[in-house]
Amino acid sequence: MRSPILSAPIVERMLTSARAQAEADGARLCIAVVDAAGGLAGFLRMPEAFSISTDLSIDKAWTAAGMRLSTADLADALAQESEQVRAGLLRRPRLTDVPGGLPLFDAGYLVGAVGASGGSTEQDIRAAEAAIGTYLEMVS
């Protein structure tokens, strides 16, 4: 069995797909791709994207990789926890429950994650989904 990997050409295509989805949605996003350890593998900032979206997109991807679930699912999970647990986790640098971060699994293995920020929740998620879809198409 091959080992899942985020090569530079794959990451570039993922970012291109996410950008195309953002453009179709009329959004100006920052998009980050991280590897399974949360290391930045690729980043794209669209013209006129909010400055804060740079760090937030990276944080969304980092969180999704580290927690192995989407940032939206993390928000749902934290809603079931005590205020102490929620506050304690969300005080951690980089950890975020803002939707738009999605983990990337290939054959059950965590490959990395994608974070998108700067649009509506739906726009951010669609851009991240486009990137993941491109990865899965390229490696299948």
Within-domain flag for 93: yes
Tell me, yes or no, whether 1 lies in a domain.
no
Which helix (DSSP H) or strand (DSSP E) does residue 60 occupy? helix 52-67
Q: Which are the contacts of 71, defined by CB distance < 8 A and separation ≥ 6?
A: 60, 63, 64, 96, 97, 98, 99, 100, 101, 102, 115
Alpha-carbon distance values, 51 to 23, 57, 114, 125 (Å): 18, 11, 18, 19
pLDDT the model gives residue 4: 73
Give tens-digit pLDDT for 63-116: 999 999 999 999 999 999 999 999 999 999 999 999 999 999 999 999 999 999
The span from the CA of 47 to the CA of 110, in Å, is: 31
Please indicate, yes or no, if residue 104 is contained in any of the structural domains.
Answer: yes
Tokens, residue 117: 């920020």
Apex CA 39: angle with CA 37 and CA 104, to 5°? 60
Please indicate, yes or no, if residue 102 is contained in any of the structural domains: yes
Q: What integer pLDDT is reported at residue 13 of this predicted model?
A: 98
Q: Is residue 140 part of a domain?
A: no
pTM of the model: 0.95
For residue 2, being part of any structural domain is answered with no
CATH code for the domain of 120: 3.30.450.150
The domain tally of the chain equals 1
**Max CA pair span of the chain:** 43
Q: Is residue 56 part of a domain?
A: yes
Sheet with 30-35, edge to edge strand ranges: 40-45, 30-35, 109-117, 101-106
Please report the pLDDT score of residue 3 as a whole number.
61
Quick check: 114 and 102 in contact, CB under 8 A? yes
Please report whether residue 86 resides in a domain: yes
Q: Is pLDDT at 1 greater than 90 in this prediction?
A: no
Domain containing residue 31 = 8-135
Nearest to 134 by CA among 117, 111, 118: 111
